[in-house]
Structure 1
Amino acid sequence: MRVRKVQEVICDDLPEKLEGVRRNAGISLLKICKRLDISPTYWYRLERGETDTINYELIQKIEQELSCDFGINFPDSPKRNSKKGRQGMDLSRLQWIKVVTPPADYHSHWAYTPQEIEKMKNSGSQVINHGETTIFPLGFRGKQNVPLEVGDLIALKQHAKITHIVEVLDEQFFGTDEWSNRYVKIIWWKPDTDWASLPHAKEVLGVDLTPMKGTPYLFDSFKDFSSTWKGPDSLKEFQAFVLNQLSKI
């Protein structure tokens, strides 16, 4: 990606840095884009590197609004200290698990497959499904008051398999009395794999957890979790374990 300020410099890692800034901003993408006067679609195009150039004025505005420094230097400008971008998959916000149970008469054995997400998109739902970026409304039965925050990660469990790790993008639930939704972005999944061949969830999590009713639960709310993962750094150790297990799939 090229950043333009009369002259141009090459910033190959700028898309990754933009993603890292968004993840750590602590506010929703909608609020970020409102402050910057751009659309969420344009932001995600920047994250995916689909835009060849970006105005330097926008870079400066992002740095100002989100208190970051991309370390972009033009030949005639003083050098600045750059911040290191996110390396690999970050599971430091993984603390929730949710069971997904498609009804018996549902037309697919699995929910939120690539095919199902594409159907959601074609039916008019606000879905982004392009390249490695997939964003969709995650459904929850009934009204919800669970304190999910922007940037939190949820492990989705289906048929005793962990099929997705998703990141919460918006600040509150929306929907009807029967169904609530939150927009999420897929952080990890295996879209080209037969999910029946995925390892049992216990192998991925190191403990067998059975959340009920489709409501998201904190991992440490389960007695079996607390008895398996002990100590002051138990959640961090658990997150590192899950990251290692997912890397093997």
Structure 2
Amino acid sequence: MRIVSLVPSLTEAVAVSLPGRLIGATDWCGHPVDLEVTRIGGTKNPRVDRIVALAPDLVIANEEENRAPDLDALRAAGLEVLVTEVRTVPGAFFELERVLTACGAPVRPHWLEEAEAAWAALPGPASSTTAVVPIWRRPWMVLGRDTFAGDVLARLGVHHLYAAHPDRYPRVPLEELRAAEPDLVVLPDEPYRFTADDGPEAFPGLPCALVSGRHLTWYGPSLAEAPRVLGRALGAARR
């Protein structure tokens, strides 16, 4: 089966579970690091002509990562497109199994079993730490309602203060973020690459947790270690 993936986390899931099935992936698909496939552009601006030329049996996409007009163009060219929707950790497990089954996986991969076990083993939120979670600056944007990353944090005992905002990724002035007085500022390294020198200085006096964006926002093999990796980073910042 010939597969093109337009989603970095799904690319990793398929590549690890079904070696050799992927023939195309986006420029942002960086895992596995040794993946050798045809690159077809970005998640928001894929080269539709290049994908069509590859003649895949299936294109896998996501309703948030990818634009509907691009997916419509692929369908119009006669390609089958599977579109996922992931807003929660359980939803991620459901969609991953659906994708892998569609890609021809005969059994559930071991990493998926490990990931489900890792999240099921969590004792439940032991604290009610409040946080703001910037995902961009210039302008500042944060996690809002109904996001996968928000559900990940909630399961780790962190309530982000814009969870009830009408927008999923609202633009919020820095002054308002500071005035919200969160217990913690969570700064992932993607989509904006926050670092020790780029991000924490905007929140003087507030503890900041620099976390792996792959573990916070990706739904794939990284889910197996995400509770441990994120829990350690969040715990260190809260101490």
Structure 1 length-normalised TM: 0.26
Structure with greater helix share of residues: 2
Structure number with the higher strand fraction is 1
- Which structure is larger by alpha-carbon Rg, 1 or 2? 1
TM-score, normalization by structure 2: 0.27
